[in-house]
């Protein structure tokens, strides 16, 4: 398993608690081959959703800002945004909860995927 980056949508840097389209802050974690991880940076974006409207141009801009991430952890994500991320090679995962616990679940998932 190689190192990779994960973006976690969080309002406080403690829990994954933001819907992808409403989030303006993502905490970027570096996950190392042995399953350990560390906070690498905090990244600000403009939310994609505003009062029920979706900004497709802003969605594309935000996705470009996460091209260095393999996964994005969110509390919720709509199918349009999820599909757009997947087309860009980024896997969205709904894993709400404490960021560390969500990352532990993701690392376990990656380890199982690499057994095949």
- Domains parsed from the chain with CATH numbers: 4-26+43-113 (3.30.420.130)
* Cross-strand pairs, 42: 27
pLDDT for the residue numbered 1: 63
User: From the CB of residue 30, how many other CB atoms can be counted at a distance below 10 Å?
Assistant: 14
pLDDT digits (tens, 9 = 90+) for 18-55: 999 999 999 999 999 888 999 999 999 999 987 667 77
Q: Whole-angstrom Cα distance, residue 71 to residue 7? A: 6
Give the pLDDT mean for 58-83: 95
Reply yes or no on whether the pLDDT at 116 is more than 90. Answer: no
pLDDT for the residue numbered 2: 85
- Averaged pLDDT score across all residues of the chain: 93
């Amino acid at each position: 398993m190689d190192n990779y980056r994960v973006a976690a949508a969080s309002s406080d840097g403690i829990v994954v608690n933001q819907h992808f389209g409403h989030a303006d802050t993502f905490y970027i974690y570096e996950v190392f081959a042995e399953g350990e991880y560390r906070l690498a940076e905090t990244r600000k974006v403009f939310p994609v959703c505003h009062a029920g409207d979706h900004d497709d141009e802003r969605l594309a801009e935000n996705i470009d800002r996460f091209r260095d991430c393999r996964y994005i952890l969110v509390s919720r994500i709509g199918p349009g945004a999820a599909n757009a991320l997947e087309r860009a090679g980024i896997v969205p995962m709904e894993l709400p909860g404490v960021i560390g616990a969500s990352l532990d679940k993701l690392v376990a998932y990656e380890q199982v995927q690499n057994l095949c």
